Structure 1
């Protein structure tokens, strides 16, 4: 099977997205029915992108473009060369480039896997050293890479790798269902106060007898971790966390798990449970973490205090109150939540193993060293 060097525009249509305004500058462009995909949405999606955090109105669509299902999204700012294929029609800004493969020349999944295996590192090396590590469309098209001349071979390779991603995605959906069941359990007991035996308990000003409200400052310490840039990470067994969640891995952990990660910049007040040792920027230690506190914090309304760069004010966070149940209901909740979390942990471990196996095969398949 022959392989040839090609640039991206030799395999399909390539163009930047369009977005002339940011949400805070033109609110009328947002909040409508049209999905507006941003770099973070691409980064946190799998093979196919179906979830998004922002939408356009009719006015927003008029100054943008609706890209078709099957478009490969490639980020060129913030996080360089992350990719995902649109599973929905969507708009995206000029920090994302769209690639639509020409029929008979390229398979979008193969090109996405090529980025994951080879091109992401090349493009990131290509952009390092600038004031901002942005990847222009010109730079994207300047580099060539090897692809099978026969698109059927591209599809065979993509089908093989996609089988791993389909298992990972199926497990991810199961994880979401488990997380939702734990969330609903917490809400039922500690927000709606329909805990076991609630009919027999006197409730005054929203506080059941024997329970109390406490500020976070009396419950846990918000600790500073350490930022770990992508270029200095050595991939390993320990997850690296930022405000948006897991952003990579490293050979060493900074703190012992399990623990709770708290979003401090950008994604303010986002809360993540980490079951293993980990490397965070802002966290609650293993000694003070519990599944009850994790779910309680997810129900706290944290406030952005920095207009230019949304940030979590530590003193304000400490002042937020949490309803603490009596010991009996606290233990009851843990007895319900812990088996759910165990299932989540097992599915996450399985997904990690699937991803490791896929990533070992990926470069060999994408170079032609292995055939399927």
Structure 2
């Protein structure tokens, strides 16, 4: 293989692993972000300034990597006698590409140098903050305090990091830190795409109860379709000078983002947002329990007090009672607890105790009562009426 081709292939592979690191390198902190994070302020102390430094360093690092590729390839071709035998048209095309790459790299370095002047005064994020407050550094310190709170919602991906605080939406991309206020934005879903992922092997073991096996067959189980739905949300601020931006996130993170925001994300195209695996199971759980016999109790019974609330969510009355009903006494055991959980919370508890690699067998599984640890299956769950 030609030395220049070998160098270009190896260099591209190394750079690709740094810029788009696989999970193995991410777990070992062998990424470009991890290498650059040691420079500048720490994220937990000054979120805004940390990511302003990170975007500046990332821009400079990408420019240097591009220059390294051009310099290495050009050096190997210059010392190769066979390069002179290459048709002139190809030589001119390669030279034009090299010149364009060098101009682009030095332009990126010039921007990075300008952003670093006066402690980030010319950084795009500083301009965004200045649109909200003339003293943008004081506003940055206030946002830093919100980012240190435990109730922040953080969504990480290879493309960006999204942080939702009590008042602010922050998204850090390679070369920018987008900032917008909750009460100042209009958010709308632009579209979605479905990405296939590798299927995980299912467990071989099945529940010994033939009733549950038939039940899982008729309901179709809770098998995953092995796809991921990615949603693109457009964010536009009403304040002049704030740059609009797009958020791309997994549909499973959508509910957490929506719950944290004080504004509504418009869905004008009526795009169906895929539920999480746990939410899909709870739906199947409720449908299955609705086919079981009910557990009648008068309102005056001591089993169900009129002012009781579910101990899990404290939002709904406890309407789930575990009564051993299945035909495999070795698997399930009697439960003598009074109703303390709503059906939704009991369904989430049941799902959390199942094997995540065998989703098609969840309806066949068992769990322990969250109060007394008695083993039960779906046939044992009754709705209190």
- TM-score of the two chains, using structure 1 as the length reference: 0.25
- TM-score of the two chains, using structure 2 as the length reference: 0.24
Q: Which has the higher contact order (CA 8 A, sep 6+)?
A: 1
Larger Rg: 2
